[in-house]
Amino acid sequence: MAAHAHRFIEEFEGFIGFGLNRESDMDTVIYYLQKFSDDQLMALLRKRLTDEERQSIFDLLSGLLRKHLSEPEYHRYFLKDNH
């Protein structure tokens, strides 16, 4: 069985749009992140992103993980290991 899942993007049937309310904002963020991480899209973007863009994406994501996850949560939910 695959360790990673992107079921939200496959099953979501609600409103996608930002700025209406917190719930639809979060749905939209999840939707965009799952679409953004699609293997085919990443294969295309990885050739086009500048060094600065790659660094910005990495800094944003790693900063959010450090801010909002404990060490055990980081290992369980992000790394998918039983550290």
How confident is the model at residue 4, as a pLDDT? 82
3-state helix, strand, coil in the chain (%, to 5): 65, 0, 35
CB atoms within 10 A of CB 27: 19
> Tens-digit pLDDT profile for the chain (83 aa)?
578 888 999 999 999 999 999 999 999 999 999 999 999 999 999 999 999 999 999 999 999 999 999 999 999 999 999 76
For 71, the token pair is 């060490």
Rounded to the nearest 5°, which phi and psi values hold at 31? -55, -50
How confident is the model at residue 82, as a pLDDT? 74
Answer yes or no: pTM beyond 0.85: no
Picking from 56, 54, 13, the residue whose alpha carbon sits closest to that of residue 31 is 13
Domain limits of the chain?
Answer: 1-48, 50-83
How confident is the model at residue 6, as a pLDDT? 87
How confident is the model at residue 13, as a pLDDT? 94
How confident is the model at residue 59, as a pLDDT? 98
As a whole number of angstroms, the distance between CA 12 and CA 32 comes to: 12
Measured at the CA of 53, the angle between CA 45 and CA 30, to 5 degrees, comes to 70
